[in-house]
Amino acid sequence: VATLPIIDETGRTLPFGSLFASQRAIVVFIRHFWCPLCQDYLSSVTSLVRPELLSYDGEKRKSMQLVVIGNGAPGLIKKYRQMIGLPFNMYSDPTLAIYSALGMESKSTVVVRRDRGYVKHGSMAGIAVAFVRAIKVGMPVWEKGGNVAQLGGEFVLGPGLTCLYAHRMQSSKGHAPIQD
């Protein structure tokens, strides 16, 4: 998994494992760039987790980072981050190779479980809000936002090839509670 490629907002390809080779990384996998539930989740995460609050070691070097990975066109990343107000780095796995290797499923019929605290909109209102947000920041709505049936998850990885926490979504509203 660590050698599989991810793409940053400039189009540069790097190995997934470089995110957690020398420091711990909280990695949030979103369903797709147009998912209003994932947008709500990231808005909640951003309001509660500031980059400057992540752990620092005794020498004032950052020892943890939070990153977000989507599976849509990498060209959408910059506008997506702007739209959400996301202060964290974001990458894309457009082939879904990492999603698959980490066991995150793609389901054509997603069973909706109970609402999580981060959900701010119903289905139709959420779609409308996501569309309006995209238009406001000039996000090209014709670009591929990713596989709409894909589920995401949250992982705490590193340093090195260690996994301290793994959560895979079981439904479209199934992100891990932020307190976890």
Q: Per the domain annotation, does 163 fall within a domain?
A: yes
Q: Per the domain annotation, does 173 fall within a domain?
A: no
CB 165 within 8 A of CB 50: no
User: What is the tally of structural domains in the chain?
Assistant: 1
Q: Per the domain annotation, does 116 fall within a domain?
A: yes
pTM to 2 decimal places: 0.81
Q: Per the domain annotation, does 26 fall within a domain?
A: yes
Output the domain CATH number for residue 82: 3.40.30.10
Q: Is the pLDDT of residue 106 over 90?
A: no
40's enclosing H/E stretch is helix 36-48
Q: Per the domain annotation, does 175 fall within a domain?
A: no
Q: Is the pLDDT of residue 180 over 70?
A: no
* pLDDT at site 141: 61
Q: Per the domain annotation, does 177 fall within a domain?
A: no
C-alpha 160/C-alpha 19 separation (Å) is 9
CB 146 within 8 A of CB 32: yes
CB 81 within 8 A of CB 70: no
Give the residue among 98, 121, 75, 71 at the shortest CA–CA distance from 130.
121
* pLDDT at site 108: 55
Q: Per the domain annotation, does 176 fall within a domain?
A: no
Structural domain containing residue 64: 5-168
Query: Rounded mean pLDDT of 141-168?
Result: 88
Q: Per the domain annotation, does 180 fall within a domain?
A: no
pLDDT tens digits, one per residue of 25-38: 999 999 988 888 88
Dig out the tokens for 162 from the structure: 């260690």
